[in-house]
Structure 1
Amino acid sequence: MKGAAMRERLLILFIIMLATAFFGEMKVNPVGGSFRFSLGIAAFFFGLLWFSSVPVLLTGFFTGTFIFGFRVGMDVFFAYRPYMESVAAHLPSAFYYFSFTVLFYLLRARRYREFPLWLGLIGASIDFISNVVEIQVRQYFTDFPPITWQSFLMLLFFGVLRSFFAVGLYNSFSIRQLRAVGEVRQQELERLRMINTELYEEAFYLRKSMTHLEEITRESYQLYRRLLTSEHAESPTALAIAENVHEVKKDSQRMLAGISKLINQEGLAPQLPIKELCELVARANQKYAEMLGKDIQIEWSCHINLSTSQIYALLSVLNNLVANAVEAIPMSGRIELNVKLIHRHLVFSVLDSGPGIPLEEQEWVFQPGYTTKYDEKGNASTGIGLTHARGIVQSLQGSLRILPDQKQMTHLEVQIPTDQLLGKEGV
C-alpha cells in the first residue's frame, strides 16, 4: 500500500511539473528580456490546491528545478541562445517557484480553500512577492532594469489575474466533484428507500401474521383447557400446538425487530416531500420499464406542499400501482401519476393506457392470488401486489378503488387522510 501511494504521489508530481512547463510557454514579455508572465504559475497554483497529497516544499523545489532545466534544454536544442546565457536567463525563474512554494507553505494557503476570496488574495500576494524575488535575482545575474511604478502595477495586476484564475478553476472543479458525489449519494438514498419499502411490506404483513398467531395460540390453549377438563386423550397435543405456535410468534417478533432496525437507517430523512416521493416512484418505474424493453412515458403532477413521515407506506402503495401499470402495458404507452388535495384527504390517481380491467373482474382484483400476468413460460404472477397495497392503505384509514376509465385509461385512486400522513412511520 505504501509503495502504491508513493507511486501515485510521484505521478502527481510529474503531472504538475509537466503541466507547469507546458503552460509556462503560453507567455507574454511585457518588460522585455526573459522575464515572462505565463499560465504556468496558474497551473502550478491549481496543482498545489487540488492535489493535497503531495508535499508543498518538495513539489516547489522539483518544479522550479524542472522548469529551469526544461527552458535551458529548449534554448540549447533550438539554438535560441548560448548555454551560459540561457542559464543566466532562466535560473531566476527557478527562484520564483522556490519563493512561491515557501510562501504558500508558510501562509498555510490550503487552509483557505473553502474561502475563495481570501485564497485569491493570498495567491495574488504570493505571486507578486515571488515576481519581485525573481526580478531581484535577475538584476543580480544580468543587467535587468529596475522596477518602475508601471512595472509594479503590472506585477500586481498579473498576480491578481493568475491567482483568481487558478482559484476559480479550482472551485469549478470542486463544485463539479461535489455535484457528482451528491448525485451518487442521492442514488444511494433512493436505493435504500426502495429496499426499505420492500422491507416495510414484509414487516407490515409479518405484524399482521403475528396477530393471527396470537389468536391461534389463544384458541389452541383454550382448546387444551377444554380437552383437559373433559380428560380427553388429545389434550397434550393441543398444548403442544399452542406452545409451537407461541414459539413461531416469538421468532416472528425477533424478525420484526431486526427489520425495524434496518428500516430506521441513519442518513435517511424522517420526512419526505410528497413531490419528491412521486418523482422517486416515477424515476424508479421508468428504469423498470426500460429494463423490460418497453417504451413507456411516465408523467407525474404534484403541486402539494406537504411532507410525510409515512415514506415507506406511500412508496409501497404507489410503487405497486405504477409497477403494475408498467407490466400491464404491452410494449408502449403512457402512465400518469397525479396528486391532489381534496378537503382533508390526499388523493393519488394512477392512470395507464394498458388493456384495462374488465368490469366483471374488478371486484376480484384485490383478492389474493388474482392475476392477469404470466411470464414467458406461462407461470402466473403471485397476485398479491394490489392486496398488499390495499392493506397498507386501509391501515392508514384510506381507500383504494378502481374508478371508471378516464381518457380511455385504467384509473386507480388512493385516498388517505392528511393527518395519517403526518403520523409516525411504523412497521
Structure 2
Amino acid sequence: MIDSHQYSKVQITKMLLIAFVDAVVSGFYLKIFPLDYTINLAVVILPIYYYLDRRLLPAVTAIFIAAFGLFFRTMTGFYYYGSFANAFWSDFNFMFFDITYGIIFTLLYYMNEQKTLYTFFLAALASDFLGNAAEFISRYGIEEYFSGSVMATLMFVAVTRASIAVLLISAIKYYNSFLRKEEHDERYRMQINLLSELRGEIYFLKNNTEHVESVMDEAFGLYREYDQLSAEAQKNKALNIAKNVHEIKKNYFKVIDGIDEIIINETPFDRLNLSDLVKMLYMSTLRELENEKKHVILYFDVHSTSPIHEHSMLMSVLRNLINNAVEAIKSEGEVRLTHNEDESKHFFTISDNGCGISEELIDYIFKPGYSTKYNDETGHSNRGIGLSLVLDIVEKYFEGEIEVTSNVGIGTQFRILIPKNKV
C-alpha cells in the first residue's frame, strides 16, 4: 500500500520525466508561418500521457513542462542567441502554450466524468488550438492573430495532432487487447491440457477398480474356504486382507470422485471445435519442444470446425500419440497430424519419421506396461496415460478403431477412426 507521501513522490517523478521527454522531443518542430513561429511535435505525445495515467493532473504537470522546457531551451539556445538572457526571453512565450494547454485539458477531460476517446479528442483539439492561440497572441499580438489564415492554420494543426494522438491511443488499446487475448488463450490451453491429463488418469484409475474389487473378492473367498477348513490363522489373515483392500477401495473412489468434481468445476467450456483443440495441442507441443535437444518440425493439418464435447479425452489420446512420435525422433525429424471426416466419422493420422518399431514389438505396444520412454540413466519408465489406455479410450470410450504401421528406420503411423456422435 502506498501512502500519500510516497504517492506524491511517484507522481512528481512522472511529471519530471514527462517534462524531460517533452523538452527533448520539442526539438523537432515545423515552421509553417513566415514569422519565427514553430509548431512543436511533442504535443502529439503529451495528451497520450494524460490518457494513460488518469492520476496526472494536466494543470500541475503543465507547470513542470513549462519550467523544464524553458530551462532546456535557454541552455541549448545560448549559442544561437548569444546570451542566456536573450535565449530565455525569446522562448519565454512557449510557457503560455504549456500552461493554457494544461488548464484547458484539465477542464475538458480530467474533470469530465465521461472519459471516452471522443471527449479526449475534443479536449486535445481545444487545448492545442487555444494553447497555440495564447502563445501566438503573446508573441505577435491579437491583430496579427486575426489577420490572414492564422486561425485556420492553427485549427488544422490542432485537428492533425489530436487525430494522431487518438490513432496512437487506439493502436495501444488494440495491442493491449491483443496481449490480454493471448494471455487468456494461453490460460485456456494450459487448463485444457491439465484437464485432459486428469481425465486420462481418471479413466486409468476407474479401469483399475475392477482389479481392486477382484482382489477383495478373492480374499473374501479365501476367508470362507479357511472358515470351512477351521484354519483360524489363515482365515483371520484372509479376512484382514479383504478388510484392507476394502479400505483401499473406499479411498480409491474418494480420490476418483474428488478429481471428477475438480474436472467438472474447472472445465472452462462444454465444447470446442476441433480446429481450436488441435491448435492448443500444437502450441503445447511447441512449448515442450523448446526444452528438447532435438529439432522436430510439426505439421498439423486440421481445419475442421466440428464441435467436440469430449475434448479432454480426445486431447489425451492425440497428445499421447504426438508425444510418442516426438520421443521416437532422436535428433531431427517430422511429426504430422492430419484429419479427414465424413458425415459420421473422424479420421486422424499421426505419423513420424523416427526410429520406428520392429515387427517383434509391434504386437506388444498396446499391452499394459509397454513404454517408449525408458530412461537408461535412471531406469524409470514415464507412463503418461500409455498406449494401452489410448487403445482402451479409442475402442471402449469412443467406440472407435485404431491401427498402427511401422518400419524400423522409416517411422510409425497411427490411424484412428472415431464416430462423431461419441465426441
TM-score range with shorter-chain normalisation? 0.7 to 0.9
How far does residue 378 in structure 1 lie from its aligned partner after superposition?
Answer: 7.6
How far does residue 224 in structure 1 lie from its aligned partner after superposition?
Answer: 5.4
Superimposed CA distance per residue, residues 291-310 of structure 1 (whole angstroms, 9 cap, x where no aligned partner): 33222222111132212122
How far does residue 287 in structure 1 lie from its aligned partner after superposition?
Answer: 4.0
Superimposed CA distance per residue, residues 167-193 of structure 1 (whole angstroms, 9 cap, x where no aligned partner): 222222332333334333333332333
- Which residue matches 2:105? 104
- Which residue matches 2:422? 420
Q: Write the distance in 1 (CA, Å) between the matches of 2:309 and 2:90.
A: 71
Q: Write the distance in 1 (CA, Å) between the matches of 2:270 and 2:398.
A: 18
Structure 1 segment 8-19 matched on structure 2, within 5 A: 8-19=10-21
Q: 1:322 and 2:314 equivalent?
A: no
Instruction: Indicate if the aligned counterparts of 1:138 and 1:144 stay in contact, CA closer than 8 A.
Output: no
Q: Please, which of 27, 30, 36 is the counterpart of residue 29 of structure 2?
A: 27
Specify the code of the residue in structure 2 equivalent to 1:273.
N
- Structure 2 residue ranges without an equivalent (≥5): none
Superimposed CA distance per residue, residues 25-80 of structure 1 (whole angstroms, 9 cap, x where no aligned partner): 222333355543111211211221233443333222211222233333433x2251
Q: Indicate the percent of aligned positions where both proteins have the same amino acid.
A: 23
Q: 1:385 and 2:386 equivalent?
A: yes
- Which residue matches 2:94? 93
Residues 107 and 207 of structure 1: is their aligned pair in 2 closer, same or farther, counting only changes over 3 Å?
farther
Structure 1 segment 79-90 matched on structure 2, within 5 A: 80=81, 86-90=87-91
Q: Write the distance in 2 (CA, Å) between the matches of 1:262 and 1:108.
A: 48
Residues 116 and 81 of structure 1: is their aligned pair in 2 closer, same or farther, counting only changes over 3 Å?
farther
- Which residue matches 2:269? 269
Q: Write the distance in 1 (CA, Å) between the matches of 2:36 and 2:264.
A: 66
Q: Write the distance in 1 (CA, Å) between the matches of 2:155 and 2:301.
A: 55
Q: Write the distance in 2 (CA, Å) between the matches of 1:372 and 1:146.
A: 84
Instruction: Indicate if the aligned counterparts of 2:223 and 2:238 stay in contact, CA closer than 8 A.
Output: yes
How far does residue 87 in structure 1 lie from its aligned partner after superposition?
Answer: 4.9
Q: 1:59 and 2:61 equivalent?
A: yes
- Structure 1 residue ranges without an equivalent (≥5): 422-427
How far does residue 247 in structure 1 lie from its aligned partner after superposition?
Answer: 2.5
**TM-score, structure 2 as length reference:** 0.85
RMSD, aligned CA: 3.3
Number of residue equivalences: 416
- Which residue matches 1:160? 159
Residues 330 and 74 of structure 1: is their aligned pair in 2 closer, same or farther, counting only changes over 3 Å?
closer
Q: Secondary structure in 1 aligned to 2:402?
A: strand
Residues 304 and 359 of structure 1: is their aligned pair in 2 closer, same or farther, counting only changes over 3 Å?
same
> Could you tell which deviates more after superposition, 323-332 or 389-398?
389-398
Q: Write the distance in 2 (CA, Å) between the matches of 1:289 and 1:155.
A: 58
Instruction: Indicate if the aligned counterparts of 2:356 and 2:406 stay in contact, CA closer than 8 A.
Output: no
Residues 400 and 68 of structure 1: is their aligned pair in 2 closer, same or farther, counting only changes over 3 Å?
same
**TM-score, structure 1 as length reference:** 0.84
How far does residue 376 in structure 1 lie from its aligned partner after superposition?
Answer: 4.0
How far does residue 154 in structure 1 lie from its aligned partner after superposition?
Answer: 0.6
Q: 1:241 and 2:245 equivalent?
A: no
